[in-house]
Amino acid sequence: DAGITQSPRHKVTETGTPVTLRCHQTENHRYMYWYRQDPGHGLRLIHYSYGVKDTDKGEVSDGYSVSRSKTEDFLLTLESATSSQTSVYFCAISEDRGYGYTFGSGTRLTVV
Amino acid sequence: RKEVEQDPGPFNVPEGATVAFNCTYSNSASQSFFWYRQDCRKEPKLLMSVYSSGNEDGRFTAQLNRASQYISLLIRDSKLSDSATYLCVVYRTGNQFYFGTGTSLTVIP
């Protein structure tokens, strides 16, 4: 669905470099989320946002920070990428608490 | 104990078969329940919400058993296009969604 887009779709980066992933929505949804998906772990919540400048940590937030300066954009930053952060990252949006998510197409990040 | 547990499968079934997946959740305070479908190398997509009374959408039927803390998904008359991984998702207050690791289904011609 065009209502949520992630960029970049693929990225290879070196250990120790900063990386920023972008999530952009056109649905005007209040809630936005960043997940990572790894084999055997399923989807795990990194950070989420419940409004502009309102964010909170998820289950696996260490090594990640987020920012939301506009309703439509939610950025995920890896301050200093490590090989353990090699993963597929999904952004999701929802209209309200407890509502089903719409996911972006994902970003495949490889840290070498 | 994991919040949500699913049999990873794989389930390999012939076209036209009926297949059922179960999912258990550990916290009785869980409030909302969903099934998502994820195709290989794609994002998860909402398949259906699961209501206490059970609900049906075409060939798909979802059931919730709060007493036993499990959710089920039944697929009738399986199609090749049903091949995917099915994720069980549970929500409880605190903006916490918990995802199972998924059950893999392959429908064979």
> pLDDT by residue (tens digit) across B26-48?
998 888 899 999 999 999 999 99
B102 closest CA partner among B92, B88, B90, B91: B88
Find the angle CA(B4)-CA(B52)-CA(A98) to the nearest 5 degrees.
Answer: 60
Residue A41: which of B31, B44, B101 has the nearest Cβ? B101
| Cα A3 to Cα A23, A76, A103, B89, distances in angstroms | 11, 18, 9, 22
Alpha-carbon radius of gyration of chain B:
13
Nearest CA in chain A to B99: A43
- Alpha carbon A79 to chain centroid distance? 14
Q: Name residues of chain B where pLDDT drops below 70.
A: 95
A31 touches chain B (CB under 8 A): yes
Q: Please give the pLDDT value at position B95.
A: 64
Q: Sort out which chain B residues have CB atoms less than 8 A from A90's CB and list them.
A: 43-44
Q: Please give the pLDDT value at position A100.
A: 82
Is A90 in Cβ contact with B44 (below 8 Å)?
yes
Report how far residue B89's alpha carbon sits from residue A104's, in angstroms, rounded to the nearest whole number: 17
> Is the predicted pLDDT of residue A2 greater than 70, yes or no?
no
How close A16 gets to chain B, by Cα (Å)? 27
Rounded to the nearest 10 degrees, how much is the dihedral formed by the CA atoms of A57, A67, A8, A28? 100
